[in-house]
């Protein structure tokens, strides 16, 4: 079997037929998740061994198979090297997340965005995190600021990971993991200071519920998908979001105070973050 050229040093250009692999893998705790292009099909075992050799803290390499599911945002994964369970512990900004990568959505590439939102939070805030997954936003926020976070998800495996993460960070009573339908659960929660809507494909549908949860004033950290060029996706997303907010303006006044591109999620496809201030009418 021929060897694949490998240069991993961040300061040097990666060359050879592994260059595409270097750009398309993530490390979650001690697990590597990699996308393998068709040009390297059949060389999974070799790629897995090389990834482990060049990432000494990793114990397992999983290959992405198929597209992301709509409900759980997870993807089918195939073991190509290493051993052990698909559950791991991932450290970020002083917090520890417990994640089963085969059953729960998690992206280390959202680290900056989670930290950006956590820095906005003021002591004493009551927060609702809809579609919370493993509770990463919730845990990071509560780890750094005294708050109460209602952290809701319908994925039983995600909520179990969340519970373990809450225990690992000693956040019992500050992050409240809730298993259930986010709409039904959150419809019963009132007087919230901040709502996080971290499900870009569907978040627009829940602006009305989010505003109903808020007290007289509050914040919605809202995430959307936008197709097109990076240079004009924020203005176009803003225009579309303003139109959608106008449909629920009977709840109060909305002001979009911040917008940014979070990441690329495909060819000419982006996730956009919008920070929305709300004042009840």
pLDDT reported for residue 70: 62
| Edge-to-edge strand ranges of the sheet holding 214-227 | 175-179, 148-153, 126-129, 192-197, 214-227, 269-280, 252-266
Region of residue 261 (left: phi > 0; alpha: psi -120 to 50; beta: else): beta
CATH number given to 19-84: 3.30.300.110
pLDDT reported for residue 87: 98
Contact between residue 168 and residue 183 where contact means Cβ atoms under 8 Å apart: no
pLDDT reported for residue 265: 87
Contact between residue 32 and residue 3 where contact means Cβ atoms under 8 Å apart: no
The whole-angstrom separation of Cα 221 and Cα 62 is: 32
pLDDT reported for residue 16: 55
In the chain, domain spans: 19-84, 104-280
> What is the DSSP annotation of the chain?
-PPPP----TTS---STTHHHHTTEEEETTEEEE---GGGTT-HHHHHHHHHHH-TT--EEEEEESPPPTTT---EEEEEEE-S-SEEEEEETTEEEEEETTTS---GGGHHHHHHHHHHPPTT-EEEETT-TTTHHHHHHHHHS--EEEEEES-HHHHHHHHHHHHHTT-BTTEEEEES-HHHHHTT--SEEEEEE--TTTGGGGHHHHHHHEEEEEEEEEEEEEES-HHHHHHHHHHHHHHHHHTTGGGEEEEEEEEEEEEEEETTEEEEEEEEEEEE-
pLDDT reported for residue 17: 59
Q: What is the mean pLDDT of each run of 10 residues along the chain (281 residues)?
A: 39 49 81 88 89 92 83 85 97 98 94 98 98 97 98 97 98 98 93 96 93 96 94 94 92 95 91 96 81
Q: CA 276 → CA 116, 223, 255, 259, distances in Å?
A: 14, 11, 6, 9
pLDDT reported for residue 36: 87
Nearest to 16 by CA among 25, 34, 4, 30: 4
Q: How many CB atoms lie within 10 A of CB 194?
A: 24
Nearest to 16 by CA among 27, 2, 26, 33: 2
> In CATH, what is the architecture of 104-280?
3-Layer(aba) Sandwich (3.40)
pLDDT reported for residue 14: 40
pLDDT reported for residue 25: 87
Q: Which residues contact 124 (CB under 8 A, 6 or more apart)?
A: 146, 147
Backbone φ and ψ for 20, nearest 5 degrees, come out as -65, -35
Contact between residue 177 and residue 165 where contact means Cβ atoms under 8 Å apart: no
């Amino acid at each position: 079997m021929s060897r694949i050229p490998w240069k991993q040093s961040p300061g040097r250009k990666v060359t050879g037929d592994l260059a595409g692999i270097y750009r398309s893998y993530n490390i979650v705790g001690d697990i590597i998740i990699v996308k393998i292009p068709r040009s390297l099909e059949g060389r999974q075992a070799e790629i897995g061994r090389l990834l482990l050799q060049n990432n000494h803290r990793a114990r397992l390499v999983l290959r992405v198979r198929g597209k992301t599911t709509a409900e759980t945002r997870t993807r089918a994964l195939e073991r190509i090297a290493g051993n052990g369970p698909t559950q791991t512990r991932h450290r970020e900004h002083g917090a520890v997340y417990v994640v089963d990568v085969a059953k729960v959505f998690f992206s280390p590439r959202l680290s900056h965005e989670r930290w950006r939102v956590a820095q906005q939070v003021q002591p004493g805030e009551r927060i609702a995190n809809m579609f919370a997954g493993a509770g990463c936003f919730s845990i990071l926020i509560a780890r750094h600021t005294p708050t109460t976070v209602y952290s809701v998800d319908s994925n039983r495996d995600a909520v179990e990971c969340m519970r373990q993460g809450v225990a690992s960070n000693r956040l019992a009573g500050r992050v409240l993991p809730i298993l259930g339908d986010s709409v039904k659960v959150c419809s019963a929660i009132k007087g919230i200071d901040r709502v996080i809507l971290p499900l870009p494909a569907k978040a627009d549908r829940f602006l009305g519920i989010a505003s109903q949860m808020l007290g007289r004033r509050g914040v919605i950290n809202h995430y959307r998908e936008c197709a097109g060029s990076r240079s004009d996706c924020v203005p176009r997303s803003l225009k579309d979001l303003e139109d959608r907010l106008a449909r629920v303006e009977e709840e109060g006044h909305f002001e979009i105070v911040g917008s940014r591109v979070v990441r690329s999620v495909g060819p000419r496809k982006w996730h956009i973050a919008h920070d929305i201030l709300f004042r009840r009418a």
